[in-house]
Amino acid sequence: MEHTKYVHGYSEREALRLNDQADTLEDIIHNDTVFKSGSLVLEAGCGVGAQTKIIAEKNPDSNFISIDISKESIHEAQQLIKRLSIRNVVFRQANLYKLPFQNETFDNVIVCFVLEHLHNPAVALNELKRVLKNDGIMIVIEGDHGSTFFYPDSREAHSAIDCQIQVQKEIGGNSNIGRELYPLFKSVGFSDIVVSPRTVYVDTSKPQLVEGFIKNTFTAMIEGVGEKAIRHGLIDRMTFEKGIKDLYRTTEPDGVFIYTFFKGFGTKK
Ligand SMILES: C[S@@+](CC[C@H](N)C(=O)[O-])C[C@H]1O[C@@H](n2cnc3c(N)ncnc32)[C@H](O)[C@@H]1O
């Protein structure tokens, strides 16, 4: 009896810890990426399949057509999905501004981290809406770099992040598009729009996110624009390097890092 109670108490605590921790991005952004059994889903801008593998495994009774403009990425995604023995995905090289599908082909369309790179996200969203069936649901997940804050705070780290935002703007993208999802959905005529913030809160009790998100995803991405930002006169080298050092500083035992993704759902009526 004591033993049962212990086991029960233990597993309840463990379940709570797991719930609270949401220690992978998957828990945070894909917890509700769930499609009706038998759905045909278009994933637009699938890249190398990082989201494909998650959403296809999570929805084994749906079929996916995943497209990307890059032939190389499609090839890599194909290899990944084959390696994982996932069988409900077909890949195709295509431009999401001019989709090779008839009107009202798909039950659902999903795009993840794609609109932020596009010159004209509203035009793209309209084309994606064209291939969605009536009553079909569109899902968009995007980041918003302006949502970043951390401890210890650092002016230089914010300046380094701002360089990424500026460089992205120069090439026609929008790193702060997450906050615009609601007006964007509205501008192309979706109904029943629901946008929710998906905040990633990281302290060192979540080592997976410290490594996987703060270091290898976010800071690595900011670091990547350094040379260009310095060349374009957006920042001086010393400030940028201090900013990057301060971002890594947030991964030390007393550090905290917070970032918000946004996920939007809209129905075609
Ligand atoms: C940041 S990646 C995101 C990839 C993937 N969704 C993920 O979350 O890992 C953006 C992707 O959009 C693709 N892309 C950009 N413009 C596109 C277009 N016009 N048509 C189709 N794909 C496009 C890029 O090739 C790239 O693979």
Comparing C-alpha atoms, which of 47, 219, 239, 45 is closest to residue 145? 219
Quick: pLDDT tens for 5-15: 334 444 554 44
Ligand 1, atom nearest to 73 Cα: 27
Q: Are 250 and 153 in contact (CB under 8 A)?
A: no
Mutate to test the pocket of ligand 1, among 30, 55, 64, 68 (most ligand atoms within 8 A of CB): 68
Does residue 191 contact residue 269 with C-beta atoms inside 8 Å? yes
The bridge status of strand 256-267 relative to strand 191-203 is antiparallel
Mean pLDDT of the chain: 92
Confidence at 204, pLDDT banded by 50, 70, 90: very high
Strand 63-68 versus strand 89-93 pairing type: parallel
Distances (CA, A) of 253 to 39, 158, 202, 207, 260: 45, 21, 11, 10, 22
Pocket mutation for ligand 1, best pick of 71, 80, 114 (most atoms within 8 Å of C-beta): 114
Quick one: which H or E segment has residue 208?
A: helix 207-209
Confidence of residue 22 (pLDDT cuts 50, 70, 90): low
| CA 133 remoteness from chain centre | 24
Using the predicted structure, report yes or no on whether residue 104 has a pLDDT greater than 50: yes
* Cβ–Cβ under 8 Å, residues 139 and 168: no
Which residues on neighbouring strands pair with residue 263, listed in sequence order? Answer: 141, 196
Report CA(100)–ligand 1 centroid distance (Å).
16
Does 148 or 17 have the greater pLDDT score? 148
What is the pTM for the complete model shown? 0.92
pLDDT of 24: 82
Q: Which helix (H) or strand (E) holds 150?
A: strand 149-151
Question: What local confidence, expressed as pLDDT, does residue 23 receive?
Answer: 60
Predicted pLDDT of residue 12: 52
SS3 state of residue 20 = helix
> Which DSSP string corresponds to 153-201?
--HHHHHHHHHHHHHHHHTT--TTGGGGHHHHHHHTT-EEEEEEEEEEE
Distance (angstroms) between ligand 1 centre and the Cα of 207 equals 28
Question: Which residue's CA lies nearest to atom 10 of ligand 1?
Answer: 114
CA distances from 160 to 154, 172, 260 (A): 10, 19, 18
pLDDT of residue 79: 96
Tell me what the mean pLDDT of segment 11-40 comes to: 74
Q: What is the pLDDT of residue 9?
A: 43
Which residues, at least 6 apart from 50, have a Cβ–Cβ distance to it below 8 Å? none
Structure tokens at 33: 């990426």
92 lines ligand 1 (CB under 6 A): no
Q: Check if 51 has its Cβ closer than 6 Å to any atom of ligand 1.
A: yes
Task: Give, in degrees to the nearest 5, the angle at Cα 60 between 58 and 61.
Answer: 125
Closest CA to 157 of 260, 258, 248, 255: 248
d(CA 233, CA 146): 21
For residues 140 and 18, give the distance between their C-alpha atoms in angstroms, rounded to a whole number: 26
51 residue type, one letter: Q
Name the one residue in this structure whose structure tokens are 């952004």: 29
Instruction: Note the pLDDT tens digit of each residue in 34-91.
Output: 999 999 999 999 999 999 999 999 999 999 999 999 999 999 999 999 999 999 999 9
Mind listing the pLDDT tens digit for each residue in 127-185?
999 999 999 999 999 999 999 999 999 999 999 999 999 999 999 999 999 999 999 99
pLDDT in tens, 62-77: 999 999 999 999 999 9
